[in-house]
Chain A
């Protein structure tokens, strides 16, 4: 009963947040200097009549509030995101749909690798807190954590692409490259460095967070009980410490999944990776409002959704949250 009400509250909250985002998304771009018709006006040969016709066609002649807002919200809810200014009037959904795949590939694999490696490193250093291995591991994690994506990316390019020549420097495929399995290998070779960049950036975060939760859990009474029970170290770590210590990491991972899509922007620019990040940069430069609105909305919704996912996961993992008990 309590659990159902909690669940409904979470879903309601997520939907309300998305609506707010929708309105903010609209207002934000209307506050920005410049407008699509002014971009059109830069061409001296456009006649006033043609400009007026364009303004009417795009609905720019109507007042921003409420007409344009209602038109935007209504269209967005029905799945109509408008047409891209830059991409020859293609539908925004189709442009984003084309770019989301490459982004999900590097972000998804990067997250997974970072999560696996970060959990392993964090658990190991936390268990050995204060010892030599912990100091080295934690220092490494801190260094990785503090390196911005674009710098890590450039270092990796310098080492693996330019110096060693093992991997391509940029792009997603070799132009005119083979198809089939050979093509998939070619894609992975291009994706390797972007994935590594994202993974390296996140490993440190996960490792440092988990290390501190494991070190904290080691002082808990239930760990003493587990030791007194005569359990093996490995069992104590896996069976007793990690189920407790992983909770903050799971939340961070879920929230990151939302943010990283936006955070991959610099990675995509460094590697000329044709994903949402690169698309955003191009759209910004050409004031492609519909694309920007579409991308921003997608990012906001994914952050809200992954937050919701984090809450649901947390309640699955921690019975105290599920039962609404005070902690």
Chain B
């Protein structure tokens, strides 16, 4: 049904990649930036993350937790003062973090990004159709007419009305722009799609439409989807698995079902408890005091310890190890012990609460 750009073409993997290896697998990735005063700031500190074809993985955390830096590292588009210190980013076995990785070959053709804020992510003086066609023409080597035709089909596919096909970005509504951005991202039919806060600036109705579209595209193209957001409700609706990030580290990860029903890490509990739940009729919210730490001056021990109601002396001295309790279920918290290899029982962190709607 979807006639979009070469969805049917047999995927030619870049040299050094093999179809039998996992789609995308990040291991021990550490990224740091050199500050103007010469200090180094570790924005991503040894994260593991993977995604399989057709799977949706959420990466959640507050702003500044390192989510977008992780995207930069995957695409090889870190700011000039940033660098990958350790770890690997394997796409079908090919390490994109290694020096001399064929990033120009893998970008967009294998891994594409829907950036946040399509008003800035799209070029204001180029028609959206040409922005979709550009990568088809230059990256897939299609003739201009073919690229234009495919761009038209793709824009149609993501729900841009016929008369808006030749529009400039400013002539589209916010939702339409984000749809167009999705068409740009899908133009080379990538295997992995990263949504970097793809619905942040949109109102809830449009947000739901875009998420639905993302979900449909994931199924239609068999995309491995990494959804980066601070909105846990979006992850609950969209994703199979979730990783919770705090100050550059993944503190807890697992299936959405597991994490949302029985959050173990105190930070996860705070995140989930910080929003009122209209559907559940919950009017009490948990209050997480303090601010995310200054990444350039991190104290020893667990990064979350200063804000954690459960923290003790060990938390403030030793880094908590990340323990894999089951396949793809991890937790980094001193308060849980490895035990007998089963998932530990959640400990309820005693956050102060706030009652809403009552005075």
Contact = CB atoms under 8 A, between A and B. Distances in A.
Q: Do A and B come from one complex?
A: yes
Interface of A: 220-222, 224-232, 235, 239-240, 243-244, 317-320, 323, 325
A225 B135 CA distance: 11
Contact of A221 (B104, B120, B171, B184): B120
Contacts of A323: 168, 170-171
Given A230-B109, A323-B171, A225 B103 contact: no
Interface in B100-155: 103-109, 112-113, 115, 117, 120-126, 134-135, 138-139
A44 to B, nearest CB: 69
Interface of B: 75, 77, 103-109, 112-113, 115, 117, 120-126, 134-135, 138-139, 168, 170-171, 184
Nearest to A242: B125
Given A224-B121, A243-B125, A319 B135 contact: no
B138 A319 contact: no
Contacts of B107: 227-230
A229 B134 contact: yes
A48 B133 CA distance: 83
A229 B124 contact: no
A243 B138 contact: no
Nearest to B110: A230
B309 to A, nearest CB: 39
Nearest to A326: B170
A323 B166 CA distance: 14
Name A's interface SS. helix
Contacts of A243: 123, 125-126
A216 to B, nearest CB: 13
A27 B170 CA distance: 47
Contacts of B123: 222, 225-226, 240, 243-244
A244 B104 contact: no
A118 to B, nearest CB: 21
Contacts of A318: 124-125
B170 A229 contact: no
A228 B124 contact: no
Contacts of B77: 224, 227-228
A230 B185 CA distance: 12
Given A230-B103, A244-B123, A325 B75 contact: no
Query: Which residue, of A222, A227, A231, A235, has the highest number of chain B Cβ atoms within 10 A?
Result: A222
A230 B77 CA distance: 10
Contacts of B113: 225, 228
A220 B104 CA distance: 20
A228 B108 contact: yes
B198 to A, nearest CB: 13
Contact of B112 (A228, A231, A235): A228
A137 B135 CA distance: 33
A233 to B, nearest CB: 10
- Which residue among B77, B122, B125, B139 has the maximum number of chain A CB atoms within 10 Å of its CB? B125
Nearest to B112: A228
B180 to A, nearest CB: 11
A239 to B, nearest CB: 7
B170 A325 contact: yes
B125 A244 contact: yes
Contact of A239 (B106, B115, B134): B134
Contacts of B109: 230
16 contacts: A221-B115, A222-B121, A225-B121, A225-B123, A227-B75, A228-B107, A229-B107, A229-B135, A231-B139, A240-B123, A240-B126, A243-B125, A244-B124, A319-B124, A319-B170, A323-B170
Contacts of B170: 319-320, 323, 325
Contacts of A224: 77, 115, 121
Nearest to B135: A229
Given A228-B75, A228-B77, A229-B108, A325 B171 contact: yes
B103 to A, nearest CB: 7
A186 B284 CA distance: 90
Given A318-B125, A320-B124, A230 B105 contact: yes
A230 B135 contact: yes
A228 B78 CA distance: 11
Contacts of B184: 225, 229
Given A225-B184, A318-B125, A320-B168, 17 more contacts: A225-B113, A227-B77, A228-B107, A228-B115, A229-B107, A229-B138, A229-B139, A230-B135, A230-B139, A239-B134, A243-B125, A244-B124, A319-B170, A319-B171, A320-B125, A323-B171, A325-B170
Q: Which of B77, B117, B121, B184 has the most CB of A within 10 A?
A: B121
Contacts of A228: 75, 77, 107-108, 112-113, 115
Contact of A231 (B124, B138, B168): B138
B121 A317 contact: no
A235 B184 CA distance: 17
A39 to B, nearest CB: 56
A230 B184 CA distance: 13
Contacts of B171: 319, 323, 325
A280 B107 CA distance: 61
Contacts of B138: 229, 231, 235
A251 to B, nearest CB: 14
Contacts of A225: 113, 115, 121-123, 184
Contacts of B117: 221
A299 B340 CA distance: 91
A231 B75 CA distance: 13
A320 B122 CA distance: 13
A109 B170 CA distance: 37
A224 B114 CA distance: 11
Contacts of A231: 134-135, 138-139
A232 B134 CA distance: 12
